[in-house]
Structure 1
Amino acid sequence: MQFDSLSDFFAMGGYAFYVWLSFGSCALILIGLLVSSLREKRVLLAQVAAQSAREQRIEKAKKAQQQEML
């Protein structure tokens, strides 16, 4: 489809409301998915760091307990 002017492009042959509404809703959904994924990534990385720190503390406590037994 070829448009004669920029205003004709934005009017979309009389279907502008439906066309731009579909583009807008799609963009909103994609942005929502991106934000949600970034938040989940941040939470997951924090959980991994906490688990790693826990495991290091446990290992350190085990070594200290073995030292006391000797």
Structure 2
Amino acid sequence: MNWNSWSEFFSMGGYGFYVWGSYLVSFMCIAGEIWILLNRQRTLQQYLGQRRIKYEREKE
């Protein structure tokens, strides 16, 4: 396709809402997945740290 202006590019021949909406939803899903993974990693590190402290106390 050949666009003569930025507004034509963003409107995508009348399908811009669907195209850019799809990009937005995809980006939000990927960002959400990254956030969930980082949260799980942080929770696991806290749990393992607590277990290590408990193990070291029992060892003494």
Q: TM-score, normalised by structure 1?
A: 0.79
Gaps of 5+ in 2: none
The alignment-based identity, stated in percent, is: 32
Between the aligned partners of 1:54 and 1:26, the Cα distance in structure 2 is 42
Query: Could you say what the CA RMSD is over the residues aligned between the two structures, in angstroms?
Result: 0.9
**What are the within-5 Å matches in structure 2 for residues 1-70 of structure 1?**
1-60=1-60
Between the aligned partners of 1:37 and 1:31, the Cα distance in structure 2 is 10
Structure 1 position 21, deviation (Å): 1.1
Q: TM-score, normalised by structure 2?
A: 0.91
Aligned residues: 60
Structure 1 position 2, deviation (Å): 2.9
| Deviant stretches of 4+, over 2 Å | none
